[in-house]
Amino acid sequence: MARIVNDWRIDLMRAHPRLFEIVAEEPKHSFGYPLCEAGWRDVMERLCVRIEDTLQDGETFQFVRIKQKFGVARFDWDGEVSDQTRLRILEAINLAVARSACSCEICGAEGRLYSNRGWLATRCAEHAAAGDPVPVRPGYENVRFLRRTPGTANMYYARYDRATDTLTEVSPRPPHGEE
Ligand SMILES: [Zn+2]
């Protein structure tokens, strides 16, 4: 008989049953099983609570993929919700992505983007291993380029504040922007 190993990813999914469809026999094979390290558990807990608070009666939501890509968290979901709820889910995901981009994926401490021979990862200094910090253009520290409305090309720049877990639009773009 297979030994059951403690897995924070399965615990997370079970703690938020409205957001995850769990494969009973093999929870690791669930679509929403997070493919990232434990340092981002806090990022995901915050996101799950925000989405649960947003969902209205009769609306459905299911994570279909949670993974690390280019050093930040990425969330794909499916469901039937109102436009207003869809917008609030987008805002919650924007916050989560921004938080992942400044939180060490290994330990959860404040971190930044490192490149190890082109492999990107968000890490604290202790867990950066052999990676080199990816330079940030002056004025773009903790600034993300985010989608404003679901399913459109309407984008904006916002600065993430880790202490307050908030995004503030930078208008029209950060100082010294060259694009
Ligand atoms: Zn770390």
Residue 136 placed within a domain: yes
What residue numbers bound the domain in which 58 lies? 8-140
CA of 51 to the centre of ligand 1 (A): 27
Distance between CA atoms of residues 133 and 138, nearest Å: 14
Q: How many folded domains does the chain comprise?
A: 1
SS3 40: helix
For residue 179, the model assigns a pLDDT of 47
Residue 49 placed within a domain: yes
Residue 151 placed within a domain: no
Residues measured by CB to lie within 5 Å of ligand 1, the ion: 104, 106-107, 109, 124, 127
Amino acid identity for residue 64 in this structure? V
For residue 152, the model assigns a pLDDT of 87
Q: Are 174 and 128 in contact (CB under 8 A)?
A: no
Residue 156 placed within a domain: no
CA of 24 to the centre of ligand 1 (A): 32
CA of 90 to the centre of ligand 1 (A): 27
**Per-residue pLDDT for the chain (179 aa), expressed as one digit of tens each?**
556 668 999 999 999 999 999 999 999 999 999 999 999 999 999 999 999 999 999 999 999 999 999 999 999 999 999 999 999 999 999 999 999 999 999 999 999 999 998 899 999 999 998 789 999 988 888 999 999 999 888 999 999 999 999 999 997 666 555 54
Residue 177 placed within a domain: no
Residue 174 placed within a domain: no
